[in-house]
Each structure stands twice: as structure tokens, then as C-alpha cells.
Amino acid sequence: MLNDVYGNRRLVIGGLMILVVLIYIIRLFDLQIIDDTYQDKADSNAFLKKIEFPARGLIKDRNGEILVFNKPAYDVMMVVREMKDFDTTTFCKLLNITPLNFVERTKEMRRRKGYSPYTPQPFMTQLSAEDYGILQEQLFRFPGISLQKRTLRDYNYHNAALLLGSIGEVNKKMIDADPDFYVQGDYAGQNGIEQTYEKYLRGEKGMEIFLRDAHGRVQGRYENGDYDVASKPGNDLTLSIDINLQAYGEQLMQNKVGSIAAIDPSTGEILALVSSPTYDPSLLVGRKRSVNYAKLLNDPLLPLYDRPMMACYPPGSTFKTANALILQQEKIIREYTAFPCHSGYHVGSFTVGCHAHFSPLNLVQSVQHSCNAYYCAGFRAMMDHPKYKGISNSFEVWKQHVVSLGFGYKLGADVPNEKRGFIPNSKYYDQIYGENRWKSLMIVSNSIGQGEILATPLQIANLAAIIANRGYYYVPHLVKDIEGQQLDSLYRTKKVSTIDSIYFLPVIDGMELVMSSGTGYASRIDSIAVCGKTGTAQNPHGEDHSLFMAFAPKNNPKIAICVVVENSGFGATWAAPIATLMMEKYLKGYIPRRRQWMEDRILKANLLPKKYANETK
């Protein structure tokens, strides 16, 4: 071997090699094992997760008639980085927009949160099928443009807009509430059934995972699609609504402000829920949505206001039935108890007027003739009864009965915006008059459904259902059946009122007499025993509201109903005919010739407040 003085330098050179390799291994250890940020970066680099939107569940009426279904719509997506040699003029022509609008849209797109020039960004949403067809053919000419399929709603009927609700883009609050499901740009139910049953209707999103290269071009499926998840379509809903009855109700209510709530008393299923004025649900679909929504929002007649659920009226004389029940249950009156009435209830200078009828009258007759004096006297007898030891206590007992009849709290119907109405408690009067400083006379108007108490049309219809059932009810609900799912137990549980069923009989008899020989006689239905009660809700702002509450047939009732026609005066004039026409339509399926003049009269009537009447017509 060669030996020389520099032989040891092999160690320096070898050492240098070892040092460099060692440094590199430490660096690799850091990159690959200690630092785990690179894994995420690699994933977001290479995986293109494409969401597959599920088909939304269909909505049918109680007879299986499809009310709401899906139609495809397409969003125009734009990857700014891929737009080379872009023919803006032709593109604008195809989309029917001006070049100025094009510039505005791209500007707005860039401002949006989460904007990236490398990923598809929505340029224009909800293209119609025709526009889609035109653009699709020419798509190859526009690099960077793609079309994303979405589902929009479409409607077979132009009715039931409010109860169905609509779908719209999710807002930040909704995303925050369910961040695992929603992302910006998703659609979700807004209002009505669409909102309440969103979780069932929306289905489950699917995901396709693609691999893409550095230029964003898709190179194929990841692992042959083994990790793809198929979307699951939403569950179909069957409503309790009878769409023909609903449409008929909306027709009857045209040019009137008010509501109809019709319930099947044996199940609590809502058969029709009319809010008038209404609108065509297809107005709130697609690109016209925001414009139309603003129009509806600014309409002085408040078509977006869900009256049967939200409007709170004094229930008027319909509430006398509730008091008749409570007074019996509390043994204040019996069926044969009679009170005198001399054109009203008079205590000193205090008077509650009444219309002309014989005197004295018993319980059944008091319902038949809607005698104010009878209920004033009865109510005061209860309030001042010594067994309660004070009016505060007696009022609380009364209130509990009222609440058990479905008043004062939300019933729990499956629409998002139900109101609770108002039933005062003794504390409420303590606050107004001072503790122990209020007397039965001061609150006597509660006995005839005036005063402080307020109820929604649904609550009044529910009272009719309780009377029809002789003492119990099911929480009124709009959905009869969810595909593959059980209905909420709330809607399957019988709610029993605090009133014994025996006390309902005289009230029912009275209500029958209302129709056969009382205030509802003009609206009677041949061959069906209808039990009804008219009412007039005093309205301090204008003309009184016309109210009517009824159920039929008397035995084995099939429908309970409440009709409110705002500013139309006495209940028998407008509300009663509408209610009986609805019942007859539902029970018989047609309106007999004898009553067609009445139907015509209703359809032609324009009871809109004078200042709007002309505009709407």
C-alpha cells in the first residue's frame, strides 16, 4: 500500500461524508416524523373532494298527491386561473348578461370569503334548464368554466306556500349550528315544513374523491372510488293536508284577510291551513327568489305572515264554550243552571251588552244564543266563590283549565313560527291593579273571550277538536308520515284536558242548536249535524274580526275548524259560511246546488281593508 504523510486525511474526508449524511438524516427525521403539517398539505394538494348533493325528499299531501318535487338547476362555476383566451363577449351573450354585469359579478366573486383563483367559484347561480342547455353545448369554448348541478324545488300546486316553506341559501347561523353538514352556498329549508323537517328532507351528502395534479386537472378516482360515499336521498314526507281542501280554502279566502285552520280531531292532523292573502310558492324558487321575497316582505297585507299560526285574536264568543266547560267542571253551574239576561249584564253602571233573546236561559240555550250575561254571571260566580279563598286562587284554577284546553302556550305544531297567544295569570293582574286590588268585575270580559286573552286560529280550531272529542286532543301537526321514520311521539300521544267528558254534552248540544236554529242557521249543511259557534273579536284598530269555530259531524267528528276573517264584522256573516263550505267540501266532496249561491257570494266578496282593495284586485 502507498503510505504518505497525508494518509490520515482519509479520516477527515470520511468524517465529512458521515457528517453530511447524518445532518440529512436528522433533517429527514424532522420532515417526515416530527413535523406533521406536510401530511395535511399533501392531502389538500392532491385530493379534490367533490360533493354530490342528495335529492331532497318529496312532499305529498294526505292522498299521496305530490306537492313539492325537485328540478335540477345549475350553477356556473369559474376557475379564474384556468381562464385563458376567454371570449367574454360570447360568454355574456349565452348567459344573457351585459359585459358590465360580467365585470361586476367577477368583482363580487373575488370579494367573497374563501375565494381562490384555483378552485371553482360560483359565478352565477341557478341557471334554468334552457340556459344550461345552451351553455353546455358551448362549454368547450370557455376554459375554466364548469357547471355544478343543484336541486331546486318545484310545485305542482300554487297553494300552501307558507306551510310548505321554501329553500334558500344557508346563513352563517345555520352553518354554525351544523358545521358538519352545511357549507357556504348550501341550500336548506327556510320556514314551514321545509325548515322543521330539514333533517329528514335533506338526505345525506355524498362525496367523490378525485386526485388532481399540480395544474388542478383531475387524474382519476382515488383508490378506484373505494373511499367515495354515495349520497342518500332525503325522506319523503306525507302531509296531513288535503291539497284540494287547502286550495278550496285559499280560493274562498281570496280578497279577504284571515285564516282557516281545519283539524282531523281524531288524530290532530291538520287538514287545511290557510293564511290569506297567500302567494304562489314557486315565486320563491331560483334566481327570482330574492326579488320576489323582497316584494312579499314589503306587501302591506303581509302575505309572509303565517296568520293561522301567528296571528293572535281575542277569541270572542267562541271562547264561551271553554268557559261553559270550566264552570261545569268547577261545579259552579249545572246543565240546568239558568241566569237572567236583560239585554246584557248590568252591575251598577257597568254593562256588558247582549242581543235580544228570552230570559232566563240555561246552559245549552246560553251557548245557542251566545248570551253574554250568562257567562259574565257564571264567571264572576266562580271568581268570587269562597271555596277558592280569594280571586287570585280562583283565577289560577280557571287559567289551568284554559291551558289544558290548549291555550296560552304553543301547541307544538310542526311549523317553526307558532305563537302562544296569551292567557293572563293572577300575577299579571297584580301588576296592573296592584296585589289584591282587583275584583272579578274588572276581569269579567275574559268570560266572553274579550279582555286580555288572545288565541291563534289554530288554538281555536284545536278547542273545536277537543269539544268534538269530548275532552282530549292530539297536538295539531302537518306531517302525517315520514318515509322510513316514525312521527315524533308528541304527535302520537293523546292529551287529555282537565274537563270530564260528561260536561261536553250540553256544550255540544248548544253548538248544534247554533247551526240548526241559532246564529249559524244560514250556513247549515243538509244531512250533516254540524256543531258551531260564532264569534266576533273586538278590534280596537278597526272593524271587528269575524270568527267561527265548528266541528262535524256531531257524532264521530271528522273535521274541526276555525275561520277568522279580519275586519268583516259579525262571525255569522263571513266566517260561518266559509267554515261550513270547507266542512261540506271535505265531508261530501262537493257543494250541493242549494248552497252554491253562498259559495259564489263568498268567492266574489272583497273584504280587504278599503285602502288596499283596489290595488290587489
- The answer to whether 10 contacts another protein (rule: CB under 8 A) is yes
Nearest distance from C-beta of residue 168 to another protein, angstroms: 37
- As a whole number of angstroms, the distance between CA 323 and CA 402 comes to 8
- The answer to whether 297 contacts another protein (rule: CB under 8 A) is no
Nearest distance from C-beta of residue 111 to another protein, angstroms: 21
Nearer to another protein, 50 or 357 (CB): 50
How far is Cα of residue 267 from the mean position of the Cα atoms in its chain? 19
- The answer to whether 20 contacts another protein (rule: CB under 8 A) is yes
Q: Which of 12, 389, 484, 593 is the binder for another protein (CB under 8 A)? A: 12
Nearest distance from C-beta of residue 20 to another protein, angstroms: 5
- The answer to whether 409 contacts another protein (rule: CB under 8 A) is no
Nearest distance from C-beta of residue 108 to another protein, angstroms: 25
- The answer to whether 90 contacts another protein (rule: CB under 8 A) is no
User: Is the preceding peptide bond at 553 cis, omega within 30 degrees of 0?
Assistant: yes
Non-local (6+) Cβ contacts of 493 within 8 A are 474, 475
- As a whole number of angstroms, the distance between CA 255 and CA 277 comes to 7
Under rule CB under 8 A, which residues in 24-53 are in contact with another protein?
24-25, 27-29, 31-33, 35, 37-39, 41-43, 45-47
- As a whole number of angstroms, the distance between CA 272 and CA 308 comes to 10
Q: How far from each other are the two terminal CA atoms of the chain, in whole angstroms?
A: 117
- The answer to whether 116 contacts another protein (rule: CB under 8 A) is no
Q: Residues binding another protein: what is the number (CB under 8 A)? A: 42
Nearest distance from C-beta of residue 34 to another protein, angstroms: 10
- The answer to whether 6 contacts another protein (rule: CB under 8 A) is yes
Please identify, among the stretches 14-22, 193-201, 375-383, 532-540, the one whose residues bind another protein according to the rule CB under 8 A: 14-22
Nearest distance from C-beta of residue 114 to another protein, angstroms: 18
Nearer to another protein, 49 or 387 (CB): 49
Q: Could you please report the per-residue DSSP string of 335-390?
A: TT--B--SSEEEETTEEEE--S--SSB-HHHHHHHT-HHHHHHHHHHHHT-GGGSS
Nearer to another protein, 6 or 336 (CB): 6
Q: Which of 21, 297, 487, 613 is the binder for another protein (CB under 8 A)? A: 21
Amino acid in position 346: H
Q: 402, 324 in Cβ contact below 8 A?
A: no
Instruction: Extract the C-alpha cell encoding 387.
Output: 271555596
- The answer to whether 492 contacts another protein (rule: CB under 8 A) is no
Nearest distance from C-beta of residue 220 to another protein, angstroms: 4
Where would I find the beta strands (DSSP E) of 499-579? 531-537, 545-552, 559-565
Q: Which of 99, 133, 143, 220 is the binder for another protein (CB under 8 A)? A: 220
Q: Which of 50, 158, 199, 212 is the binder for another protein (CB under 8 A)? A: 212
Nearer to another protein, 13 or 356 (CB): 13
Mapped onto helix, strand or coil, the DSSP state of residue 74 is strand
Q: Could you please report the per-residue DSSP string of 295-308?
A: HHHH-TT-TTS-HH
Dihedral pair phi/psi, residue 462, rounded to 5°: -65, -35
Q: Identify the residue whose cell numbers are 310548505.
A: 164
Q: 76, 95 in Cβ contact below 8 A?
A: yes
- The answer to whether 213 contacts another protein (rule: CB under 8 A) is yes
How far is Cα of residue 375 from the mean position of the Cα atoms in its chain? 35
The residues of the shown chain that bind another protein, judged by CB under 8 A, are: 1-2, 4-7, 9-10, 12-14, 16-18, 20-21, 23-25, 27-29, 31-33, 35, 37-39, 41-43, 45-47, 211-215, 219-220
